[in-house]
Amino acid sequence: MKRKHDYAFWTFVTLAILAGVTAVFNVSRTYSATSGNVEIYKQLDLFGDVLERVRADYVEKPDDAMLIDSAINGMLAALDPHSAYLNPKHFRDMQVQTRGEFGGLGIEVTMENGAVKVVSPIDDTPAAKAGLQANDLITHLDGEQIVGLTLEQAVEKMRGPVNTPITLGILRKGRDDPFDVKIVRDVIRINAVKARAEGDVAYIKVSTFNEQTHSNLVKSVDGLKKSIGKNLKGYVIDLRNNPGGLLDQAIAVSDDFLEKGAIVLTKGRNLEETQRSNARPGDVTEGKPILVLINGGSASASEIVAGALQDHKRATVIGTRSFGKGSVQTIIPLGQNGAIRLTTARYYTPSGRSIQAKGIDPDTVIEQELPPELKPKSSADRPRGEASLRGHLRGDAAKDKKEESGSSAYVPKEPEKDQQLQYALKILRGEPVETPPQPQPEAKSGDSTQTEPAKKE
């Protein structure tokens, strides 16, 4: 829901788009005379002066709509990496994405230091099949540099008709030279939940949180109960490289495993904007043991689930520290002019832990062994999380100087080489395991609403 105190400002922006430059002066002066907030409207007059000067004197006649779009994009991009303007086309694309099917390459991306960073490739998509990996930096599209483009503009260039090719210029940590990857665009159908029996253990991979996630997870649990039968030892919920998605789906998935108690707390700027989501009775696993897998590609909605189950001691969390994206973005429609995705709140685990720029620390740290080509050659090559993004929203960890940079997001394709998965299976089966040395514990502080850290392409 849009804040009441945002109404005047966003009405101004919308009117400026609809009515042109004249509205900039009229609206700003009208509001400055009645609101008492004189300084902001002086700045709006400055904006109008600059806009009019550009329209009058720029070497070529500029596109007025493009100027306004760029100004809004720049304003929102200056807030944090996750706030953005969605023009009408991008808004429609976003709505399609959350329903679980869209056109593109099949990667979650964000912007980092002028390059597009891959948060994670989506399973069974052209990007995943082409070998793109989390933390890859996309520097060129069909030979043209990305530097200077906004994230929205870069994503727009990556989209295109199905069966058309695009060549991505890639920088990968561990490789000295950039290289090209050619990908053919396709219709991306997001299968949010994949499940299989690992012998007497139910393995459930949740790759994203779209409108289908909760219902697909319940169906998967029911199917595995029947196929494994009475010998079912427990569940592995794999949230690795899950970049987030819809907040209500994260809450529903957490509720699937909890009988009672808080799931997540969201805190906005004002006290009255604090909300608490609670679990209702009913555990789809009927109390069976649960192990949750996370890594440096687990972000946002997946961190809500991991944090809730960890705080309630309903699950043991295994893997490496998560991404640390603990802010909530609200989609605010602007009528025919698209929408804005605005960071409106921070979220906290049931015990009051802020995840922003800190992440979820697993109960048991299991580092995945990297292939030689992915091993960092220097400290500069270490994995990066939310805390490394320029302009990231400061969390409680910043006060204690405990912001964290994230962890590896590598997951082997072969289950037998997946050390984190194999460790979880042994724990559920009661087999002996060699527990690696654990890091010293640190003190813990204690709609259409989306929690996603990235764009889907």
Closest CA to 343 of 326, 323, 322: 326
Identify residue 273 by its one-letter amino acid code: E
Query: Distances from the Cα of 353 to the Cαs of 78, 101, 255, 275, 435, in angstroms?
Result: 26, 34, 19, 15, 26
Q: Which residue has the tokens 């052209």?
A: 126
Residues in CB range of 126: below 8 A, 6 or more apart: 105, 106, 183, 184, 185, 186
Helices (DSSP H) in 334-407: which residue ranges? 396-399
Query: Distances from the Cα of 391 to the Cαs of 3, 86, 245, 264, 394, in angstroms?
Result: 23, 20, 21, 25, 9
Residues in CB range of 377: below 8 A, 6 or more apart: 174
Residues in CB range of 14: below 8 A, 6 or more apart: 334, 335, 337
Q: Among 173, 205, 325, 358, which one carries the catalytic annotation? A: 325
Cα–Cα distance for residue pair 117/384, rounded to 1 Å: 10
Cα–Cα distance for residue pair 331/5, rounded to 1 Å: 16
311 catalytic? Reply is yes
Cα–Cα distance for residue pair 421/200, rounded to 1 Å: 14
Pairing of strands 186-189, 165-171: unpaired
Helices (DSSP H) in 108-147: which residue ranges? 126-129
- Cite the beta strand spans of 353-430 per DSSP E: 364-365
Q: Among 238, 311, 361, 418, which one carries the catalytic annotation? A: 311
The structure tokens listed for 165 are 């090719």
Query: Helix or strand or coil: residue 37?
Result: coil
Contact assessment for residue 253 and residue 217, using Cβ atoms and an 8 Å cutoff: yes
260 catalytic? Reply is no
CA angle 425, 426, 427 (to 5 degrees): 90
Query: Helix or strand or coil: residue 50?
Result: helix
Q: Among 83, 220, 298, 300, which one carries the catalytic annotation? A: 300
- Per-residue burial over 124-136, b = 16 or more CB atoms within 10 Å of its CB, e = otherwise: ebbbbebebbbbb
447 catalytic? Reply is no
Give catalytic residues, as residue numbers.
300, 311, 325
